[in-house]
Every structure is written in C-alpha cells, then in structure tokens.
Amino acid sequence: MLQGNNLECVRGDRVLFSGINFSIKPGELMQVRGPNGSGKTSLLRMLCGLAVPNSGKVSWNGANIRSISEEYCGVITYLGHMSGIKDELTAIENLRIASALSGVEVDEKRACEALHQMGLIERENLFTKLLSQGQKRRVSLARLLLVRTQLWILDEPLTALDVSAIELMKNILERYLAQGGMVVLTTHQEIDVSAAVTHQLYLS
Amino acid sequence: MSINWYKYASPASFYFLAGKMIPFFSVAAVIFLVVGLYIGFFVAPTDFQQGEAYRIIFIHVPAAWMSMFLYLVMAFWAGIGLAFNTRLSSMVATAIAPTGAMFTFLALWTGAWWGKPMWGTWWVWDARLTSELILLFLYIGFMSLQAAIDDPRRADKAGAIIALVGVVNIPIIYFSVQWWNTLHQGASVSLTQSPKMATTMLAGMLIMSLAAWMYSIVMVLMRTRVIILERERHTAWVAELKGATR
Amino acid sequence: MLIWVIRRDLLLAMRRQADVLTTLFFFVIVVSLFPLGIGPEMNILRIMAPGVVWVAALLASMLSLGRMFSNDYLDGTLEQILLSPTSLSVLVLGKMFAHWLITGVPLVLMAPVLGIQYDLPSSALIVLALSLLIGTPILSLIGGIGAALTLGLRGGGVLVSLLVLPLYIPVLIFGAGAVEASTAGLGVDAHFSLLGAFLLVSLVLAPWATAASLRVSME
C-alpha cells in the first residue's frame, strides 16, 4: 500500500502544493490532475523517491520509502516524461537495457514480443532516431510488459500516442489493475480506465 | 522530534543571538589586533639575519594557520549539515568560505612580500606556498559550485560533498607537494626555517592569531546573518523585523 | 547489472566514435603545441615531456567528463539508473570504468608515440605508458564526483575544471614524477606504489561520493 502523508513541495519561494494525503491499495488507480506547473511531475518524483518532500512523507506498506530505498526501487516502475530512449540504440537494445536496469534481464525474443504487443512490428532493429515520437513512446512503454512490479508511476504516458495506442495502453492498465497492480498516473488526455477504485487528485 | 538544542539552532534564534555576539567579538578583535601589531612592530627585536622585513610573519603566519583551520571548520559544518539536514550549519559553512579564501590569499600575498627582500623573487615554488595556492583553488571551487546552483538545498549539499572530498584530499595533496618539492630543489629555501624565535616574537604571533580568530568569528556571524535573512525572507519573523525597522 | 551498464556505454561510444576521437585528438594536439611554443631544443623538451604529456592527459580526461552523466541526465536514463534496485555506487562504478575504457585507454596507447616526439628513451616511454595506465582510472574516478555535482548547471564544463583539477594534482606529481625518475636513472617503485594506493583509495571512496552527488543533483 502506498501512502502520502501531508506532502508539501516548495520550488524557490513558491509553495507548489501542501497537505496532500492519499492512500492507494492493490487494484487501485490514482489520477493526478492539474494545470501546467501545478507540481504533477514533482509529486510523482516524490512518490518514487527521486525528490524529497519539503515536509510530510511517502510510505510503502507503512515504512518510509527513504529508509527502504533499494527495496522500494524493486517494486516500482517509473516512466518519466523524458523517455530514457537513446537515439543511437535500436528499439530492442533500448528495451533490453531499460529492463536490465530495472532488475529484469530479458532475452531478445521476449523483448521482441513485447515490442510486437506494443504494435511495433518490424521496427525492432531500427535505430530509434529513425522512429517517430509516438513509436519511441511505445518502446519505453513496452518495459511495463516485461517488468513485474507492484506499482507503476507514469508521468504523461500517453503523450504522442495515437488513438489505437491509447486504446492499447488502456487495456494494459486495466489488465494490470485487475491483477492487483497499483497505478499513479498523470495525463492531459481523457482516458477512461476502469479500476476497483479510482482516486482523483487535483493540484491547483 | 523537538530536541531542545534544535530550537536554539533555528535560524531565527541564531540571528538574534549572533547579533548580540558580534559587538563583543569585534571589540576583542580590535584589541588583539592593536596589541599584536604593537608587539610585532615596536616591541619585538629586529632579526639579525632578516632585518625588519621579517616582521611580515606577524601577519603571514596567522593568516596561513587561519586559512587551513577555516577549511576544516567549513567542511565540518557542511558535513554536519549534510548528515543531519540542519540548515543553519550549512549556512555557517557557506559563510566561512569567503573569509577562509581571504586568509589564504593574504598568506600568499604576504608570502610574496616576504620572499622579495629575502630571496629576491616574488614567488618560489616552496612546498608551503604551493600547498597554500592549491588550498586557494579548493576554496574557489567550493564557492563557484555554490554560486552556480540556484536551489539553496542543492547548493548546501553539493558544497558539503566537495568540501569533504577536499578534506580527504588535503593531506594527500600536502604530502605530494612536499615530496615533489624535495625531489626538485633539494636545498630550497623554506619559510619554516626561520631562526629561533624570541619570546616576544612568539607572543606577537599568538596575539595576532587571536585577532584573526576574533575577526573570522565576526565576519562569519555577520555573513551568516545575511544568508539567514536572504533565505528566510518570506517567513513571518523576517517580515516582522522589516516592519520594526521601517 | 554492472556488465549491462558498461556494455551500454561502450555500445554508445562505438556508435558515436567522433566523441571518442575528439578527446584523443585534443590530447595529441595539446602535446604537439608545446614544442611550437618553447622551441625545438631537444634537451629542454626531453625534460618537459613527462609534465607536458601528463598535463595534457589531465585536460583531455577532464574535458570528456561532461559525457559521463549529462547525456543520460538529459534523456531521462539517469532517473532510471537512480531507481534501479541495484546499488547506485555499483552502477556508477560501471559508468566510471566505461569512461576510462573510452577516454583513458586511448591516451595510454597514444602516449608513447607522443613521447617519441620529445625524444624520450624507450625505458621512459614504457614508464610513461604504465604511469598513465595506473593514473588515468583515478582521473575518471575523481572526475566522476565533479561531473555528478555540476550536472545540469550553467557553465558546468568550466566549473568542473575548477572542482576537479586541484584534486588531480597528486596524480600529476607522481605520474610525471615516475617518468622523470626513470630518465634520471632512479627507481620508480615508490611512485608506482603511491599511484596504486591513490587508485585503491579512489576506488573505495569515489563511486560512493559520486552516487551521493547524483542524488543531490537529481533532487
């Protein structure tokens, strides 16, 4: 279970948000909404431990994530709005390296299957600089199919995706939630993911 | 989590405490300086080898001591700030750096002034002078890094890491320079090989060191106060302070 | 995991060979400039050679530090590295090792050729290459701290030189000192032992300090 207690974020002189409380249980989804600059990315970075809240704490199964950081890294998958895709590597190399960094080594065949599932067929061995933005996004999303973690923290995962890919993503999220996964998500697109419980968090 | 001493280490209470301490240390600094300079220039005997020029050691030696000591103090407080996340100690570390750099520069400058009449050259690659020069580079690195970072939290922590890395390196650098120096100029002149010192000379130097101490404390307190005001400018107590002076 | 990091960085370097060659050519050009500034007097050049080659190696290694983390920082890979369940110090050590393979090893191989330009005797050429072989990993290790601290800062490239060059001084003294001792006919064991000791100390401390610096810079 992921919990946020009284989270506060200060940037320079400005308080972006304060007093944020929530708790997410297996099978639940939290959508973070708010205008540009309201601190959505900052909140997500706090949830995965990259940033330290100015006050309050994030806890995983009751333990502060600061004190269990390596263990916690093993149960989450974070996709930032920067894709982490290297132009000079092929789609398959990118995916295999990204998965290895998350602690799961996959062979070429499984990586290839995941790319196919994401709708990237016959593009596996192209350098990613030859792919479109949407296709690059699909490469980074393919990691979600390979890495079995309990919590996904996704920052604008739908950017640059076309309608069919958004539909695909919706199915992936729903399947994951049905299996007891937890998802924290920011998005500007409307996406109607059905989950056991959907929390809405507005930052203003 | 309210430890008692933590309350006194809060920037607000330190601001007022420092304000009360500054006049006391300033007076002490002036007294020590006057007495020290008087002994140095009028009481201490003329050195039979070096003549009057040696009197610069009354500034040079305390400055050199202070420059090295302040780096350690700076790294200590920066390290405390990093380990325990106490903002005040990081601010003190930031406040120490310019004074430390100033003393390092003063030690180099007076070293050059001493060198000219003694050895006929402004600069010798003596082990002490070279180490002092490298120490100046370390201070400059610390200050430039902090100046380049806008976010004060990151500046504090990054500065602490580089200061601690510097502390680990200082003995290694000092030892290397010593080795390099003996290797390259076996019978070199050294600032340390001064003849046996008269008691009055030693007394003058110690009193000048005390003056340097007091001066450093005053400067660090004053600079810390400025940093506190800058970082806490949006808090209620600073606003109150502003209202009171208006 | 460590292997993956090293493999990835080497693969990237293979695909961006220009970057690797730039560092090497910089090294060659700087070393070749000194005779033009000083004059072709071989007796003087022979004395200066160890210092010149070592200073050029310091600068070349330093100039390539920006590449150690900043590309990964810009495209978001560094976030993934920080969130990896493997210890960050270990991953950082992998990146440092890759950096050394890409920038340090070419310098080691090129240095004897440049030593010939300065008319160094062949025994000194071997000592020069060996001293660089032990010394350049230290440069990558210490440099990593500076690279991590200046991540994403304006003027980071110049700033890193202020932070890192003073820390390189012991390596310079004993690296160049070893070559000088060898040309003077003295033993070089002490120099090499000390360089080795520096290498061990930085192997233990630098990845850890760099990992801490990365966390600070990414916050």
A197-202 and A182-186 strand pairing? unpaired
d(CA B102, nearest CA chain C) in Å = 18
Q: What is the pLDDT of residues B108-123, one digit of tens each?
A: 999 888 888 877 888 8
User: Phi and psi of A31, rounded to 5°?
Assistant: -100, 125
pLDDT at B120: 81
Q: What is the CATH topology of the domain spanning A2-202?
A: Rossmann fold (3.40.50)
pLDDT at C134: 96
Which residues in chain C (26-45) have CB-CB distances under 8 A to chain A? Answer: none
Higher pLDDT, B81 or B11: B81
Mutate to test the interface with C, among B142, B174, B176, B182 (most CBs of C within 10 A): B176
Confidence grade of residue B2 (pLDDT, cut at 50, 70, 90): very low
**Predicted TM-score (pTM) of this structure:** 0.90
Quote the minimal CA–CA distance from B151 to chain A in Å: 7
- pLDDT one-digit tens code per residue, C92-120: 999 999 999 999 999 999 999 999 999 99
The token duo for B219 is 């400067």
Residue B7 vs residue B26, higher pLDDT: B26
Compute the nearest-CA separation of C18 from chain B (Å).
30
Domain residue extents for chain C: 2-218
pLDDT of residue C168: 95
- Domain-wise residue ranges, chain A: 2-202
pLDDT tens digits along A62-85? 889 888 888 898 899 999 888 788
Cβ–Cβ contact B3 with C under 8 A: no
- By mean pLDDT, which of B121-130, C97-106, C178-187 is the weakest? B121-130
Cα distance between residue B109 and residue B105, in whole Å: 6
For the stretch B171-217, pLDDT in tens is 898 888 888 877 665 434 444 545 556 778 888 889 999 999 999 99
CB-CB under 8 Å, C85 with A48: no
Tell if the CB–CB gap between A12 and B234 is shorter than 8 Å. no
pLDDT at B189: 42
Nearest-angstrom CA–CA distance, B216 and B99:
7
Please name the member of C149, C150, C169 whose beta carbon is closest to the beta carbon of B176. C169
| Interface chains of chain B (3 or more CB pairs under 8 Å) | A, C
Long-range Cβ contact pairs of B20-29 (< 8 A, separation 24 or more): B21/B217, B21/B221, B22/B218, B22/B221, B22/B222, B25/B214, B25/B217, B25/B218, B25/B221, B26/B214, B26/B218, B28/B210, B28/B214, B29/B211, B29/B214, B29/B215, B29/B217, B29/B218
Q: Determine the Cα angle at A54 with ends A51 and A60, to 5°.
A: 60
Does C77 contact chain A (CB < 8 Å)? yes
* Nearest C-alpha in B relative to C197: B172
For residue B115, give every residue at least 6 positions away whose Cβ sits within 8 Å of its Cβ, in sequence order, or none. Answer: B121, B122, B123, B124
Tens of pLDDT along B41-74?
888 877 766 677 778 888 998 999 999 999 999 9
Interface check B1 vs A, CB under 8 A: no
